[in-house]
Structure 1
Amino acid sequence: MDIEELKYLLKKYNDQTATPEEIRIVEDWYESVNGEVPNFSLDELANFKANIYANVEANMMNTAKDGDKKNTFKIYRHYFAKAAILIGALLGIVYLFFVNPNRSAKSSLTANHEIKPGGNNAILKLANGTSVVLNDDITGQISNQQGVEVTKTKSGELVYSIIDQPGANVALMNTVTTPRGGQYHLILADKTEVWLNSGSSITFPAVFCGKDRKVAVTGEAYFEVAKNKLKPFIVSTKGSEVTVLGTHFNINAYDDEDAELTTLLEGSVSVKRNNQCLLLKPGQQASITRNSNLINMKEIEDPNVLVAWKDGYFQFDNADVAAVMRQISRWYNTEIQYNGSVPVKQYIGRIPRTVSAKELVEMLSYSGIHCTIEKNKIIVNPK
Structure 2
Amino acid sequence: MTKEEYILLYEKYLKGICTAEEQKLLDTYQDNYSLNFHFLEVHDNQKDKERNARIYQQLKKSIDNTQPPKLSWYKHPFTAAAALIGILSIGAYLFWTSPKINKQEKVLASQTKMNSGSNKAVLTLGDGSRLILDNASNGILTNQGQSVISKESNGKLVYNTSGVSQSYAVEQNLITIPRGGEYQIVLPDGTKVWLNSESSLSFPVVFKGNTRKVTLSGEAYFEVAKNKNSPFSISVKGTEIKVLGTHFNVEAYDDVNTTLVEGSVQLKNKTQSVVLKPGESGLTQNDGRFKIEQADLESVTGWKNGYFVFHNKELKSIMEQVERWYDVDIEYEDDVQDKKFYGKVSRSDDLSELLKNMELTGIVHFKIQTDNKTKRKKIIVTT
What code does the residue aligned with 1:170 have? A
Q: Hey, what's the Cα distance between the residues in 2 that align with 1:343 and 1:165?
A: 52
Which structure's residues are more often helix, by fraction? 1
What code does the residue aligned with 1:295 have? F
The alignment status of 1:377 with 2:373, answered yes or no, reads no
The alignment status of 1:281 with 2:277, answered yes or no, reads yes
Deviations 1:214-251 (A, max 9, x none): 00000000000011101111001013110000000000
Counterparts of 1:94-105 in structure 2, within 5 Å, are none
- SS of the equivalent of 1:324 reads helix
The alignment status of 1:208 with 2:207, answered yes or no, reads yes
Q: What is the deviation of 1:82?
A: 5.0
The alignment status of 1:308 with 2:307, answered yes or no, reads no
Q: What is the deviation of 1:143?
A: 1.6
Note the aligned Cα RMSD (angstroms): 3.6
TM-score in terms of structure 1 length = 0.72
Of 348-357 and 187-196, the range deviating more from structure 2: 348-357
Counterpart of 2:328 in structure 1 is 334
Q: Hey, what's the Cα distance between the residues in 2 that align with 1:298 and 1:338?
A: 31
Match of 2:264 among 268, 283, 298: 268
Deviations 1:29-62 (A, max 9, x none): xxxxxxxx962379x999xx9xx9778426999x
Q: What is the deviation of 1:292?
A: 2.2
Q: Hey, what's the Cα distance between the residues in 2 that align with 1:136 and 1:281?
A: 40
Match of 2:313 among 301, 312, 319: 319
Q: Hey, what's the Cα distance between the residues in 1 that align with 2:270 and 2:360?
A: 45
Gaps spanning 5+ residues in structure 2: where? 1-6, 16-25, 39-51, 62-80, 96-102, 104-109, 371-376
Contact 1:84 1:348 in 2 (8 A): no
Change (3 A) 1:165 1:274: closer
> What is the total number of aligned residue pairs between the two structures?
308
- SS of the equivalent of 2:137 reads coil
Q: Hey, what's the Cα distance between the residues in 1 that align with 2:82 and 2:251?
A: 23
Change (3 A) 1:117 1:333: same
- SS of the equivalent of 1:358 reads helix
Counterpart of 1:188 in structure 2 is 187
Q: Hey, what's the Cα distance between the residues in 1 that align with 2:292 and 2:354?
A: 33
Which one scores higher on RCO, CA 8 angstroms, separation ≥ 6? Answer: 2
What code does the residue aligned with 1:372 have? K
What code does the residue aligned with 2:130 have? S
Q: What is the deviation of 1:366?
A: 2.4
Contact 1:126 1:174 in 2 (8 A): yes
Change (3 A) 1:89 1:142: farther
Counterpart of 2:197 in structure 1 is 198
Q: Hey, what's the Cα distance between the residues in 2 that align with 1:318 and 1:273?
A: 30
Change (3 A) 1:164 1:211: closer
Deviations 1:172-192 (A, max 9, x none): 100100001110001011110
Bigger radius of gyration, 1 or 2? 2
Contact 1:239 1:288 in 2 (8 A): no
What code does the residue aligned with 1:39 have? T
Counterparts of 1:234-273 in structure 2, within 5 Å, are 234-255=233-254, 259-273=255-269
- SS of the equivalent of 1:298 reads strand
TM-score in terms of structure 2 length = 0.72
- SS of the equivalent of 2:28 reads coil
Contact 2:232 2:242 in 1 (8 A): yes
- SS of the equivalent of 2:261 reads strand
Q: Hey, what's the Cα distance between the residues in 2 that align with 1:55 and 1:330?
A: 35
What code does the residue aligned with 2:57 have? E
Q: Hey, what's the Cα distance between the residues in 2 that align with 1:84 and 1:179?
A: 38
Gaps spanning 5+ residues in structure 1: where? 1-6, 16-36, 62-79, 95-99, 101-106
Change (3 A) 1:56 1:230: farther
Match of 1:296 among 286, 291, 299: 291
Counterparts of 1:1-383 in structure 2, within 5 Å, are 39-40=28-29, 56-57=56-57, 82=83, 86=87, 114-166=113-165, 168-255=167-254, 259-289=255-285, 291-300=286-295, 302-367=296-361, 368-375=363-370, 376-382=377-383
Q: Tell me the percent identity.
A: 36
Q: Hey, what's the Cα distance between the residues in 2 that align with 1:59 and 1:229?
A: 52
Q: Hey, what's the Cα distance between the residues in 2 that align with 1:137 and 1:38?
A: 46
What code does the residue aligned with 1:138 have? S
